[in-house]
């Protein structure tokens, strides 16, 4: 059975990756590839493993323009120095073109992905190439690479999963992440989390940031955490009201803890437990 990229070792790689690299090396006059070119090949293999099909032409939706990964040619993807563009589609949804642009910024490769005519959002992630390509001139191809599982996992989380979810959601199917869920269902799931985790989710991307600033959501969160304080909200926005009540609550908790700690110190310093049994009840 052929390996996946995340199963790679310094002895074995996916056969398709080795084949592309060997063919590309033969085609290069200098017989030497740049790190960015090698990294681009890794990205192409990752796309192929996850059900995406490459296209020969950047702008046509003609299914005849699909390109088999075995026929990849780096030169057709170069727009200008250090910049590559790939067009591809998700298998089974060939009417939606996805564009990936890879820019080399020193040792970092920045990947931007846009789903044409469907979503203005740009999915972006930067990779330190030398974390994965440790020796482009290694004696064997597998020894060129390191930590490809981390690359695969990061690429899936930042690019593959959100892109698939967006496309599936467009066609009415639940996707492979929170992004593919209906808004109301996602709110219900997030309401199971503590507010600190909800804030962290809002930091993950622009879409969640906008979504979790929804007044309706903060109203539900206020009702969940401070139902007895609803009458104090007044005319303020629910998120602002939540913040005010939350800070006051945390301060109250802090004071109680400090008082409890002080009383514990008193008990340790003066053994009042025999003379003042009420102290045991308080503590």
User: What residue ranges of the chain have pLDDT lower than 50?
Assistant: 1, 30, 63-64, 272-273, 276-283
What percent of the chain stands above pLDDT 70?
77
Fold of 5-170: Protein Transport Mog1p; Chain A (3.40.1000)
For residue 155, what pLDDT is reported?
93
Q: Could you tell me the two tokens for 252?
A: 């109250």
CA distances from 234 to 218, 224, 227, 248 (A): 14, 17, 14, 16
Average pLDDT, the chain: 79
pLDDT digits (tens, 9 = 90+) for 176-230: 566 656 677 788 888 899 999 988 888 877 777 887 888 888 888 989 998 888 7
Q: Determine the Cα–Cα distance for residues 239 and 115; give it in Å rounded to an integer.
A: 32
| Residue 162 burial (C-beta neighbours within 10 Å; 0-12, 13-18, 19+) | buried
Which pLDDT does position 73 carry in this prediction?
61
What separation in angstroms does the CA of 189 have from each of 29, 122, 178, 186?
55, 25, 9, 5
**Domain residue ranges in the chain:** 5-170, 232-282
Residues with Cβ < 8 Å from 226, sequence gap 6 or more?
Answer: 242, 245, 246, 249
Q: At how many degrees (to 10) do helices 215-225 and 183-190 cross?
A: 30
What integer pLDDT is reported at residue 128 of this predicted model? Answer: 93
pTM summary value: 0.62
- pLDDT for the residue numbered 129: 92
């Amino acid at each position: 059975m052929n390996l996946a990229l995340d199963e790679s070792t310094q002895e074995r790689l996916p056969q398709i990756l080795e084949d592309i690299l060997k063919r590309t090396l033969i085609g290069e006059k200098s017989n030497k590839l740049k790190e960015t070119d090698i990294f681009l090949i890794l990205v192409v293999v990752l796309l192929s493993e996850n059900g995406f099909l490459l296209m020969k032409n950047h702008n046509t939706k003609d299914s005849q323009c699909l390109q088999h990964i075995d026929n990849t040619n780096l030169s057709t993807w170069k727009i200008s120095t250090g910049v590559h563009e790939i067009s591809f589609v998700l298998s089974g949804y060939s009417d939606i073109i996805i564009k990936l642009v890879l820019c080399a910024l020193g040792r970092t490769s920045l990947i931007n992905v846009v789903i044409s005519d469907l979503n203005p959002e740009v999915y972006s992630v930067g990779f330190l190439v030398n974390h994965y390509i440790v020796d482009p001139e290694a004696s064997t191809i597998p020894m060129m690479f390191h930590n490809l599982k981390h690359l695969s996992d990061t690429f899936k989380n930042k690019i593959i999963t959100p892109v698939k979810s967006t496309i599936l959601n467009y066609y009415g199917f639940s996707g492979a992440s929170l992004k593919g869920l209906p808004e109301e269902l996602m709110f219900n799931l997030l309401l199971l989390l503590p507010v600190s985790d909800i804030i962290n989710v809002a930091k993950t991307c622009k879409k969640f940031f906008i979504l979790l600033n929804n007044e309706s959501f903060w109203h539900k969160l206020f009702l969940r955490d401070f139902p007895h304080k609803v009458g104090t909200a007044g005319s303020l926005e629910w998120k602002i009201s939540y913040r005010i009540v939350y800070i006051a609550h945390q301060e109250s908790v802090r004071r109680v803890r400090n008082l409890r700690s002080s009383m514990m110190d008193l008990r340790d310093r003066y053994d009042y437990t025999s003379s003042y049994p009420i102290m045991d009840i308080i503590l």
